[in-house]
Structure 1
Amino acid sequence: MKKSISKVLLAAVTTAVMLSSCSKTPDESRYIPKTAGIVIELNAKQLTNKLVTNGITMDKLFEATQSKDTANEVMKVWKDAENSGIDMQSHFFASVVFQGQPAEHKSYVSLTASLKDADKFEAYLKKNIANFSLKTQSDFKYIWEEKQHAVIGWNKSAVIYISAVDPSNLERYAPGGSSTPDYPTDEPITDSAVAEPAAIAVPAANVLIDTDAEIKGWVAEVDHLFHLKKEESAGSIDAFAKLLKESADAGVFVNPEAIYNSGQLTMIPANVKKLMEGSFYTGTINFENGKILFNANTFLGKELAAIYKKYGKKEIDLDMLKKYPSENVTGFISYAFDFRMIGDIVKATGMDGMVNIMMGKSGLSMDDVLNAFEGQLTYVASDFAITKKESPYYPGEFTEKPDAKWIFSLKVGNKDAFNKLMTSPMLKEVFTREGDHYAVVNPMAAATMPAMSITEKFVTLGSDSVLLQQYLAGNGHIKLPDGIESKIKGTMMGGYVDLEKVTSVIPEDKVDGDEKVVVKKAKDLLKDVTFTSKADGSDVQHAEAVLTFKNKDQNSLVQLINLGTETVKIMQAKKAKDRAYEDSVFAGSAPVDSVVAPN
């Protein structure tokens, strides 16, 4: 049985993802402060409905993933949590609020959920929390959870859990990680940045004072969250408000300004902070029939938006992609980005002087390098396979390695800047000009490099010279799946990977017999992934990705869970088989008492 509400809430959040409305803003979001640097939202009701519709319930999931010895106990824990008063089909929010310097222990994680029954919740805490001591503060109740150094506060409709975190080591708070803070869990946090030496005893009175101060501070923070004014909440930030209205299965919000303004990143120059001011990042995920939809938005602050606007909207050059000579394409990525934008960003931070000093010996400036290329690039791969290759060091020895044909092409920008780059002290010992192109000076070095063509128009590399010449001739034409070209047309970034082709080459004969079933199902799961990015105006960059499954009729989350439960069954069966074998070995080697016959 879980003994901490922190683990109950974390379990509920994790369950919503595993198991897992309208455009109305979730009520739980009003307890998120605008000082939160990271916010994760899970729409438990929406996720659960998608699974229940496909016949997956918690009972069936536990039966499928737990052994006979633990299934009943796990179900008891879950039923206990279901009856805790927490609305398991509400929106769950996990926030990281960055405050003060790391040594001050003022930053915290906040978990927020709705309550269906506050009386049941109080009874649940009393049953499961050691040293339960109920306190009342204005219009909410709370307890101090000693093991986690956390406050659990609740009113009639919501529960808030907050606990101090070390922002430099957030991975410890992820599901499966240790949530134990850096300070000993049986002693309070002290305000001192330097821990007391272990050999020095701390008077009991001082410990009590520090604990009382700690509790008082965190209770005040919970009180603050319960009574946030509209302008103090994350909902007052336009990017966060738009995220909530998307009504996704899950979402994430990042506020860089809240992170570095807290003192967590003291090394960031003031100019960088000013440049990033007003910038936010959001992302959503939705599990649909036969696909998973990922969407992300970058909301640019005033200064960044002005830089993007200066260089206008740039679109990928489809001709660089379409002349790839293959009908067996594994994947590609095409990108259009004006490199001069990087220069303006560096200059805005005041670091251009340092960059130019570092490049001084090369005879180049930062602008020379950025002007040399237009910012149009394409990488295409095809004919992906697992091939046997002989070791160059041990003749007769072969290893199996993934292999593919490929082309990388980068369009040249300003010719004068490009020629200055190629003839600079940095590169003149490597490349020499021969007519209308550049060649590698050292033949031995050239033999170790990929096939290449460097002209005043393009820098192109290839997996082999034959493919390179075919690409440069432009006589071939790539064959893409239906709809891919129209999807990436007009975008600043477009990409595609044929996952069916990638997974098809996985050798099943290398897998243990018990695992072949799972490997085969995994290979039969995914079809492809497509991703794009474009500017929705000068102040918003929008990106999306679609992960497509072969089975178009069943929800993608259901398919993932079915594969996961099948994998768990195979693993459990394998462990049981290994244990039975070990038991038989030990039983066979056990000493046998012998009876000595009398003479």
Structure 2
Amino acid sequence: MKKSISKVLLAAVTSAVMLSSCSKTPDESRYIPKTAGVVVDLNAKQLTTKLVTNGITMDKLFEATQSKDTSNEVMKAWKDAENSGIDMQSHFFASFVFQGQPAEHKSYISLTASLKDADKFEAYLKKNIANFSLKTQNDFKYIWEEKQHAVIGWNKSAVIYISAVDPSNLEKYNPGGSSSPDYGDPSEPMIDSATAVTDSAMAIPAALTTAEDDAQIKTWVAEVDHLFHLKKDETAGSIEPFAKLLKEDADAGIFVNPEAIYNSGQFTMIPANVKKLMEGSFYTGTVNFENGKIVFNGHSYMGKELAAIYKKYGKKEIDMDMLNKYPSQNITGFISYAFDFRMIGDIVKATGMDGMVNLMMGKSGLSMDDVLNAFEGQLTYVASDFAITKKESPYFPGEFTEKPDAKWIFSLKVGNKDAFNKIMTSPMLKEVFTREGDHYTVVNPMAAATMPAMSINEKFVTLGSDSALLQEYLGGKGHIKLPDGIEGKIKGSMLGGYVDLEKVTAVIPEDKMDEDEKPVAKKAKELLKDVTFVSKADGGDVQHGEAVLTFKNKDQNSLVQLINLGTEAAKVMQARKAKEKAYEDSLFAAPVDTTVVAPQ
């Protein structure tokens, strides 16, 4: 069987995502440099355990998603990978390291995993990689993979795969990118694309490598050597937010270090004062698949200068009254946000770009401070009564189209009245709005007819889907009905939101689907219940965000439910391909003068 090591590692990472701890601080993390801009952690053992506990194994998964002609080959490839010596139950890390100027091609991606048996791993490589040429450097072994221009290095306990990337054109590394490496059709078994990789590698004998190739090999071997011998203060683990992320014991995690990215030379256009403002800022996130829900948690760590700006304006909480007075018992979703716009002004000033902003706004007769002071930073958007409705075309009478429709309100609280009135009477808006008593109206009646219902005064700017709903909302006599626990969850936060996915998916029409698609569509509609998200300030320099995607079935693990839906969709795709192939075969088999009717 022909298959390259890059495919083994990528297959392992893919399976961890698909399946996805043992240790509070995974041993594999010590090979990740602090210069990494983005790190993705997949806890394969924890994720696999959740699937196996619910009766899903790789054997059953491949059997369900592959055709009879390919499932055996795929299983052989997977079993081969399982016996490769790589610990398929360890943490898998993918690290993106941005360094040097783009033209120098020094940036790379590294994949890191644990080894259970280094001798098995070496034997596996020797068996499956063409032109296998084993080399040794210091205390590790390595080979060069020509097709991917990658080095695979390993010692007794770990394997590191390094391949160069071009940060200025990351799209080409996507499976769908025009210049992406050829991973083959994702609907085809992995073994086919792996074979193509090895075949192409066989076409280039090792003896024909150029001096340029030799220099490239030496560069990446040196980098592998560097990663295997990182000092503690050189690892990403020496960064406190990353160390905290590893201890969260999540199914999957992500770490972003903006400073490592823009200091790498990849973004030379970023001004020095912008870099200084963002210094010490980091972002981390985790994903956990639990029974009946997926929980996303994120932390934003602010550096010294950015934290000082946030502290200057204090903690701000969403105005619950703006949400609660929405007059409906049939809520589809909402988002409420509390953010002092003046923070934006301080951030822009700290970067030294306020002069440019004011210059651009010069013709409007306004300054940046005028706009930021005009609004308090309290906004709410609420939608209800979501449905698919038939609407007649205004241009073609008698023609109807089905479109999503909902009732909604958007409200923005005014801050400084003088600044607000200055905006409304500025050269930019004075031709559009005119003041009538204590409110503003649209000057042109024809323009007003095309705009949503609105109310603009010195307290609020409020827009609505229709005037009746707007007036009822402004009257303040109605009261929103939220699901149990939602109000208490978002109260006191700076950001809160909710979407009733059950109501959104319920209106998806099944009558326009093919018969073989309806069962999957029905299961998809029965899958999700709602999603809630909230963001709060944990302290002066940390903000915490959480999103919870809730499933209707509360007793089964959410990953298992997603896998089950995915396998059902795969079966539908296989059946469709089989039907199409049968139709094509019938065309070629039919006599020339026979009319073949296409199946519906």
Fold match (TM-score > 0.5): yes
> What SS is found at the alignment partner of 1:514?
coil
Aligned to 2:181: 180
Between the aligned partners of 1:375 and 1:57, the Cα distance in structure 2 is 50
Q: CA deviation at 1:274?
A: 0.7
Deviations 1:469-513 (A, max 9, x none): 000000100000000000000000000000000000001101111
Contact 1:16 1:44 in 2 (8 A): yes
Question: TM-score scaled to structure 2, two decimals?
Answer: 0.93
> What SS is found at the alignment partner of 2:520?
helix
Between the aligned partners of 2:208 and 2:357, the Cα distance in structure 1 is 52
Between the aligned partners of 1:101 and 1:180, the Cα distance in structure 2 is 23
Between the aligned partners of 2:516 and 2:368, the Cα distance in structure 1 is 57
Match of 1:506 among 502, 505, 508: 508
Contact 1:295 1:545 in 2 (8 A): yes
Between the aligned partners of 1:208 and 1:405, the Cα distance in structure 2 is 66
Between the aligned partners of 1:449 and 1:490, the Cα distance in structure 2 is 34
For residues 175 and 26 of structure 1, do their structure 2 counterparts lie closer, same or farther at Cα, with a shift above 3 Å needed?
farther
Deviations 1:111-137 (A, max 9, x none): 000000000000011011111111111
> What SS is found at the alignment partner of 1:589?
coil
> What SS is found at the alignment partner of 2:429?
coil
Identity of aligned residues (%): 87
Aligned to 2:380: 378
Contact 1:23 1:246 in 2 (8 A): no
Q: CA deviation at 1:148?
A: 1.1
Aligned to 1:196: none
AA in 1 matched with 2:334: F
Q: CA deviation at 1:206?
A: 11
Between the aligned partners of 1:78 and 1:209, the Cα distance in structure 2 is 37
Aligned to 1:577: 579
Contact 1:518 1:563 in 2 (8 A): yes
Is structure 2 residue 108 aligned with structure 1 residue 147?
Answer: no
Is structure 2 residue 363 aligned with structure 1 residue 344?
Answer: no
> What SS is found at the alignment partner of 2:366?
coil
Is structure 2 residue 272 aligned with structure 1 residue 270?
Answer: yes
Aligned to 1:156: 156
Aligned to 2:218: 216
Aligned to 1:189: none
Aligned to 2:107: 107
Between the aligned partners of 1:271 and 1:582, the Cα distance in structure 2 is 63
Between the aligned partners of 2:208 and 2:562, the Cα distance in structure 1 is 53
Match of 2:476 among 474, 477, 489: 474
For residues 206 and 76 of structure 1, do their structure 2 counterparts lie closer, same or farther at Cα, with a shift above 3 Å needed?
closer
AA in 2 matched with 1:337: F
Contact 2:175 2:181 in 1 (8 A): no
Deviations 1:394-420 (A, max 9, x none): 000000000000000000000111011
Between the aligned partners of 1:123 and 1:179, the Cα distance in structure 2 is 29
Q: CA deviation at 1:530?
A: 0.1
Between the aligned partners of 1:550 and 1:25, the Cα distance in structure 2 is 34
Contact 1:2 1:77 in 2 (8 A): no
Alignment of structure 1 residues 52-91 onto 2, 5 Å: 52-91=52-91
Between the aligned partners of 2:593 and 2:329, the Cα distance in structure 1 is 67
> What SS is found at the alignment partner of 1:551?
coil
Bigger mean CA offset, 211-220 vs 400-409: 211-220
Contact 1:24 1:245 in 2 (8 A): yes
Q: CA deviation at 1:147?
A: 1.2
Bigger mean CA offset, 169-178 vs 228-237: 169-178
> What SS is found at the alignment partner of 1:63?
helix
Between the aligned partners of 2:591 and 2:244, the Cα distance in structure 1 is 68
Unmatched 5+ residue regions in structure 2? 183-196, 199-205, 595-600
Aligned to 2:185: none
Match of 2:524 among 517, 522, 525: 522
> What SS is found at the alignment partner of 2:210?
helix
Between the aligned partners of 1:567 and 1:2, the Cα distance in structure 2 is 29
Is structure 2 residue 295 aligned with structure 1 residue 293?
Answer: yes
AA in 2 matched with 1:497: V
AA in 2 matched with 1:170: L
Between the aligned partners of 2:282 and 2:261, the Cα distance in structure 1 is 11
Between the aligned partners of 2:152 and 2:180, the Cα distance in structure 1 is 16
Between the aligned partners of 1:277 and 1:331, the Cα distance in structure 2 is 36
Contact 2:22 2:46 in 1 (8 A): no
Alignment of structure 1 residues 319-330 onto 2, 5 Å: 319-330=321-332
Aligned to 1:314: 316
Between the aligned partners of 1:461 and 1:169, the Cα distance in structure 2 is 41
AA in 1 matched with 2:141: K
Unmatched 5+ residue regions in structure 1? 187-203, 593-599
> What SS is found at the alignment partner of 1:478?
coil
AA in 1 matched with 2:356: M
Deviations 1:256-308 (A, max 9, x none): 11111111111111111111111011111000000000011111011100001
Bigger mean CA offset, 569-578 vs 373-382: 569-578
Contact 1:250 1:286 in 2 (8 A): yes
Is structure 2 residue 483 aligned with structure 1 residue 484?
Answer: no
Between the aligned partners of 2:233 and 2:131, the Cα distance in structure 1 is 37
Match of 1:446 among 430, 445, 448: 448
Aligned to 1:194: none
Q: CA RMSD in A?
A: 1.7
Contact 2:109 2:163 in 1 (8 A): yes
Aligned to 1:122: 122
Between the aligned partners of 2:62 and 2:439, the Cα distance in structure 1 is 65
Between the aligned partners of 1:221 and 1:384, the Cα distance in structure 2 is 55
Aligned to 1:404: 406
Contact 2:144 2:217 in 1 (8 A): yes
> What SS is found at the alignment partner of 1:509?
coil
